[in-house]
Amino acid sequence: MKSFMKLATAAAFAVLGASAAFAEDTIKFAVAAEPYPPFTVKDASGKWTGWEVDMQEAVCKQIKAKCEIVETAWDGIIPALLAKKFDVIWSSMSITGERSKTIDFTDKYYNTPTSIIGPKDSTATADPAGMKGKVIGVQVSTVHLDYVNKYFKGVAKDIKTYQTQDEVNQDLAAGRIDADQADATTLAAFLESDAGKACCKLLGNVAEDLVILGPGVGGGLRKEDTALKGKVNDAIKAIRASGEYDTITKKYFKMDIYGG
């Protein structure tokens, strides 16, 4: 699950005292511009697809609103929300206490473990002892980078950062790093790809840290948009109660991703 820490920059875009900016019949959902399979992926025609896209469409159907997807650079997604470029961040954003100082969140809509993968011949494990002397790759501005810095800095040989998760995966496949930490589901998708099958394997899940990794993923909203938050929360509950959540999930996963 992804994270964003540039809160000082984000705060500069806040509009104090503003009322809800979304139109009743149109809600703009932001996704990070880079693909994050199987949650958000562009098809050959340039249309966004994936589990989060299907969930967003189900939410909008419940709310009876027209929805639009707005592509936004990940490292500027919170400032863009506060500048009213769109209404909801819907892009695998982890709910964290630090981020909640600046924006609000809906209820969680999924929660999956954090994993580390490595080369097929690796004997490393997903803990500080196993990462000793390793070169670890991780995406910038994520909870995973925060986790790596807390638990593996000082024992790892090096921590290399990348703008996208695809770049981390590519460097692991090319043998330029020894380990790759990210959300378990997106790493599983890579391991099931031809490139992933050829090079890599799961080394394990990391130990939980709710302060860093958070309790799950939710939609990010401006703090003043309480009415929209209520509508989205009600929609998430209705989708889960009706079984539509499970129907969507089974298209992409062989496991429950909602979590406890």
Q: Which residue has the higher pLDDT, 164 or 203?
A: 203
Identify whether the C-beta of residue 37 lies closer than 8 Å to the C-beta of residue 50.
Answer: yes
Structure tokens at 246: 């499970």
pLDDT attached to residue 56: 98
8 to 66, 79, 99, 144, 172: CA distances (angstroms): 32, 10, 11, 20, 32
* 3-class DSSP assignment, residue 160: strand
pLDDT tops 50 at residue 11: no
pLDDT tops 50 at residue 17: no
Q: Which residue has the higher pLDDT, 25 or 95?
A: 95
Q: How many helices (H) and strands (E) does the chain have?
A: 10, 12
pLDDT in tens, 59-111: 999 999 999 999 999 889 999 999 999 999 999 999 999 899 999 999 999 99
**Residue 4 pLDDT level (bands cut at 50, 70, 90):** very low
Mind listing the domains of the chain with CATH numbers? Answer: 7-111+215-250 (3.40.190.10), 114-212 (3.40.190.10)
pLDDT attached to residue 15: 37
pLDDT in tens, 37-48: 999 999 999 999
pLDDT attached to residue 259: 85
* Percent of all residues in the chain with a pLDDT value above 90, rounded to a whole number: 85
Structure tokens at 181: 């930490």
H or E element: which one contains 139? strand 135-139
* 3-class DSSP assignment, residue 109: strand
10 Å Cβ neighbour count for 84? Answer: 15
**Residue 24 pLDDT level (bands cut at 50, 70, 90):** low
Structure tokens at 40: 């958000």
Q: Which residue has the higher pLDDT, 20 or 260?
A: 260
pLDDT in tens, 172-230: 999 999 999 999 999 999 999 999 999 999 999 999 999 999 999 999 999 999 999 99
Mean pLDDT of the chain: 91
pLDDT tops 80 at residue 5: no
H or E element: which one contains 198? helix 194-199
pLDDT attached to residue 1: 58
pLDDT attached to residue 260: 66
Q: Which residue has the higher pLDDT, 22 or 259?
A: 259
